[in-house]
Structure 1
């Protein structure tokens, strides 16, 4: 059952990317990409080039924080950027219920309605970052500029 769910999740991301005009090959790995360290080893790049997609709730509205691997999101900075009263991290059950993606494979795209995205400014130091593609065994490369374009997001200082 979980394998079918993972396959469906990856296909959802693949379809979304295709429809957004971003032809990319989603790569699969036997190794997990559940953590930044796992992903770094599986992909073969430094942890800073791994993209973390973190789902937040800002005044009960889903928002994505797209972070360079080792960086942590500063909820106070996100709150200021969004002029929100309250910002909090989503728990794994909410993430799955809202998006259909499980923690460890949360992608930057592929949602029924794309959440607003804030991109960690440090991502723009790299020509390519590596994003999860709907499961903890699937990923794809993307430039930070292309990531900003397809998510409709904004680059901001949101790092702790």
Structure 2
């Protein structure tokens, strides 16, 4: 079964990296987006391209919580625990959004999903382990673009909350 983008979702056919860059600039954060010849599609790919340990790579995961999008931001070495996400959101049904939904709804392809720049405000949960590191490396809208961000700035950017969501 394919997830459908919510009715009234904006057209997201523009350049996804520019969407992230525009968000960062509008919110007063540095535009420190870097492009890599190598892909950052997986955590291991990103770790090599960025030159940082896998734990410092940010995974931006889109879940559907009672059919509404939720961003779960994880340290690269951790996996999200659906039961913990459900509990944190006091939800009935939680599942990972499929790649087609993510792209259609957000304009971002899996492998380049950023923590910011969504078509609407999206609630976010931040893996507590992110706060163990001074900087994490986030995708910037493509599998060849990324930017550094402190977990504290990430929390401010997303309006998210620190939460125990890892397995």
TM range, smaller chain: over 0.9
Q: Which structure 2 residues correspond to residues 72-111 of structure 1 after superposition, within 5 A?
A: 72-111=79-118
Moved over 6 A (4+): none
Give SS of 1:76's match. helix
* Residue 140 of structure 2 is aligned to residue 133 of structure 1: yes
The structural deviation recorded for 1:143 is 0.2
* Residue 16 of structure 2 is aligned to residue 9 of structure 1: yes
* Residue 125 of structure 2 is aligned to residue 118 of structure 1: yes
State whether residues 51 and 66 of structure 1, in contact with CA within 8 Å, keep that contact through their aligned partners in structure 2.
yes
Q: Which structure 2 residues correspond to residues 22-101 of structure 1 after superposition, within 5 A?
A: 22-101=29-108
The structural deviation recorded for 1:25 is 1.3
Q: Within 1, Cα distance between the matches of 2:13 and 2:30? A: 20
Q: How many residues align?
A: 156
CA gap 1:103/1:44 in 2 versus in 1, 3 angstroms: same
CA gap 1:117/1:7 in 2 versus in 1, 3 angstroms: same
State whether residues 124 and 145 of structure 1, in contact with CA within 8 Å, keep that contact through their aligned partners in structure 2.
yes
Unpaired runs of at least 5, structure 2: 1-11
Structure 1 stretch displaced more, 20-29 or 93-102: 20-29
Q: Within 1, Cα distance between the matches of 2:104 and 2:90? A: 26
Instruction: Output the aligned Cα RMSD.
Output: 1.3
* 1:58-103 Cα deviation digits (max 9, x unpaired): 0011000000001000010000000000000000000001000000
TM-score (norm 1): 0.95
State whether residues 64 and 70 of structure 2, in contact with CA within 8 Å, keep that contact through their aligned partners in structure 1.
yes
